[in-house]
Amino acid sequence: MSKLPESPAIFRDTLRDFTADRSLLKLTAMAVVVGTGGAFSAWILLRLIGLITNLIYFQQISVQTVSFAGRHLPLWTILIPVAGSLVVGLMARFGSDKIRGHGIPEAIEAILLGQSRIEPKVALLKPISSAISIGTGGPFGAEGPIIMTGGALGSLFAQLFHMSSAERKTLLVAGAAAGMTGVFGTPIASVLLAVELLLFEWKPRSFVPVVTAAMIAAVWRPWMLGPGPLFAYGIAPMIPWWGLGLCAILGIVAGLQSGLMTIVLYKVEDLFHELPIHWMWWPALGGVVVGIGGWLDPAVLGVGYDNIRALVNGSLNMHDAFALLIGKCVVWIVALSSGTSGGVLAPLLIMGGALGSLEAHFLPFGDAGFWAILGMAAILGGTMRAPLTSTLFAVELTGNHYLLAPLLISSVAAFATTVLLMRRSILTERIARRGHHIMREYTIDPFLQTRVDQIMAKPVHTLAGSIPVEEAIAFFMAAEGPKRHKSYPVVDENGKLTGMASRADVLRWSREGWGNAKTLADTQIRDEMFTCYSDELVGHLADRMAVSDFGRVPILERGTDRVIGLVARRDLLRVRTRAIKEEREKRQMLRLA
């Protein structure tokens, strides 16, 4: 253990706002590679989806995105989603079951529970399974799988080097943000998604590399998928002063819609769990519903970016918008509950936009596109519990910053609604069903806000170094008298620390037959301890206690090195007690005369 600290003549404040060091530069440089990989993986996935769709449905070789809207599919195409889902089920059974689901919960699990390590086969099988699922008509988006795929590429790249779990997490999330940027062209929203959903921290060490990767992907995207916003909307509606209230109401309705869909989704998933067959066959059963729904209304099949574009343009009438809302909701819930592979962002945009488009017919201002965009952002904010991400996501998708205020209001209203009505989101509910709880709130660590002198025991009970060892043994072995601690600081005549005496020391001295010829100062216990100054942060002390496994630490006064306190493990709980008190204790600070 560390020896007694030297007493500095002048106290040097070494605390900083952030803990970043030169590793930030290394991670940022690596993020350039990860960002490029994420962008190209997004391009490959989208092209692979287009290839499979064209080949299976229309017997033509092309990688262009296909629109199902307005088409009439023959009856035999009902079997296409069934066959695709069956292939995905086989890949999950004999490849890796981690490819099931929509990607974001799996990325969160890898970050929080898997030391940010993703297996190479998951990085390969996830995009392939998602391309098969979506390409054969699955009603999903490509963003969830590409978030998982980009994250897997970042994790694999990090695993090639000697890196900590926290550093691997940074590159995993950087890859996820780059993948999302590559699909949608929304670098700012991708960074916010990382902050609100994936990083679980706010540190320059992770934030700067994630921004770097997202911006690198944004640079590559125009060369691969074209420039400009994905769903351009150039209208700036005049909103009356009371109009923002209607935006909030739309957000509340979207929050209720989000909550209802989440509840139904997991109820249907529970029904699948009750089936007397292996889960490998569940996606094929979900594919039956998708096939029938696609035959009745082909618009519900696939990614559906053409549907989003029609909603933003306001070109869907009430009948088509209502049919799209109900049909997409049914096939999406059943397919996702069955455990197949696909994302949730694009389906949520369609369902929220369809409801907003229907509501536009009863609202006094704005066109159908305006309310559809608000509905899209609101349902994202409520379902994913990420209102900042959903707000900037809609702004970047449409290229219209004039919508910022109404988008924020509707997103926050939907967010507040789901937070108050539901314990978990669609993402964390899946993780909770696997036996893990995730707290989504970001708070400052109270251990890094509290000084040691605020929790230490004082005045401290000490033993004089001049007392004989036999007297110290009798003190520890006394059956009566004051309650004995496990260890005590030993001080000289000036109150300065010379060592620590513990019950374990007493037993050893008794076995070795130490007598009155020896004093505590002669026991040479000086190096078997560490100390702390009263003005240090409790968090730093707690870290050192955890690493060294010391249960009691003498506290010194800076400048004199006199022992003025003692901190035991139980004293650390006072920090939590203070934090709880600040949260729960209510007082009226001002009173009117």
- Asked whether residue 461 falls in the same domain as residue 534, the answer is yes
3 state DSSP class of 222: helix
Residue-level pLDDT at 9? 43
Give whole-number Cα distances, 532 to 2, 6, 160, 525, 559, in Å. 11, 11, 39, 17, 12
| Cβ-Cβ contacts under 8 Å for 185 (sequence gap 6 or more) | 218, 221, 225, 228, 229, 230, 396, 397
Strands 487-491 and 463-464: parallel
Rg over alpha carbons for the chain, rounded to the nearest Å, is: 31
Q: Please, are residues 285 and 338 in contact by the beta-carbon 8 Å criterion?
A: yes
Domain check: are 155 and 282 in the same one?
no
Please tell me the predicted confidence (pLDDT) of residue 3.
Answer: 43
**562 close to 556: Cβ distance less than 8 angstroms:** yes
Is residue 273 included in any domain, yes or no? yes
pLDDT, tens only, 9-63: 445 667 778 888 888 999 999 999 999 999 999 999 999 999 999 999 989 998 8
> Tell me, what's the pLDDT at 303?
87
Domain CATH number, residue 478: 3.10.580.10
Shared-domain flag, residues 216 and 80: yes
Does residue 520 lie in a domain region? yes
DSSP at 115? T
Angle at 441 between CA 437 and CA 447, to 5 degrees: 100
Residue 586, in any domain of the structure: no
Q: What percentage of the chain carries pLDDT values higher than 70? A: 94
Lowest mean pLDDT among 234-243, 443-452, 510-519, 584-593: 510-519
The 10s digit of each residue's pLDDT in 304-318 is 899 999 999 999 999
Tell me the C-alpha distance between 277 and 564, whole Å. 68
Same-domain check for residues 258 and 218: no
- What dihedral do alpha carbons 110, 116, 122, 127 form, nearest 10°? 90
- Please indicate, yes or no, whether residues 450 and 425 belong to a single structural domain of this protein: no
Is residue 144 within 8 A of residue 103, CB to CB? The reply is: yes
- Spatial distance between the Cα atoms of 268 and 337, rounded to a whole number of angstroms: 6
Q: Is the pLDDT of residue 585 over 90?
A: no
Q: Which residue has the higher pLDDT, 138 or 487?
A: 138
Name the domain boundary from 373, 401, 432: 432
End-to-end CA distance of the chain: 60
Residue 345, token pair as written in the block: 């962002």
In the listed set 404, 432, 460, which residue is the last one of a domain according to the structure?
Answer: 432
Predicted confidence band at 551 (pLDDT cuts at 50, 70, 90)? confident
pLDDT exceeds cutoff 70 at 593: no
The phi-psi region of residue 499 (left if phi > 0; otherwise alpha if psi is between -120 and 50; otherwise beta) is left
Say whether both 450 and 418 belong to one domain: no
The whole-number average pLDDT for the span 334-351 is 89
307: CATH: 1.10.3080.10
pLDDT tens digits, 281-295: 999 999 999 999 999
Residue with tokens 């314990």, as numbered in its chain: 423
pLDDT, position 342: 77
Total count of domains within the chain: 3
Task: Count CA atoms within 13 Å of residue 341 on its CB side.
Answer: 37
Same domain, 469 and 388: no
- pLDDT one-digit tens code per residue, 320-336: 999 999 999 999 999 99
Q: What is the mean pLDDT of residues 536-552?
A: 86
Do 423 and 459 lie in one domain? The reply is no
Give DSSP secondary structure letters for 95-156. Answer: T-GGGSB-SHHHHHHHHHHSTT---HHHHHHHHHHHHHHHHTT---BSHHHHHHHHHHHHHH
pLDDT bucket at 119, cuts 50 / 70 / 90:
confident
Whether the pLDDT of residue 576 is over 80: the answer is yes
Residue 254 lies in a domain: yes
372 lies in which domain range? 243-432
| Last-in-domain residue among 369, 403, 432 | 432
Residue 587 within any structural domain of the chain: no
Together in a domain, 531 and 490? yes
Residues 182 and 48 grouped into a single domain:
yes
> Which pLDDT band holds residue 264 (cuts at 50, 70, 90)?
very high
**CA atoms of 509 and 406, how far apart (whole Å):** 75
In angstroms, the CA 277 to CA 301 distance is 26
Flag whether the pTM goes above 0.75.
yes
In a domain, 311, yes or no: yes
* Judgement on whether residues 205 and 77 belong to the same structural domain of the protein: yes
Token pair recorded at residue 66: 């296909």
Residue 500 lies in a domain: yes
Give domain status of residue 380, yes or no.
yes
Rounded to an integer, what is the distance from CA 348 to the centroid of its chain? 19
* 506 and 467 together in one domain: yes
> Using CA atoms, how far apart are residues 232 and 276, in angstroms rounded to an integer?
48
| Helical ranges in 142-281 per DSSP H | 143-159, 165-184, 187-193, 204-225, 243-273
Cα-flanking dihedrals φ and ψ of residue 434, to 5°? -100, 10
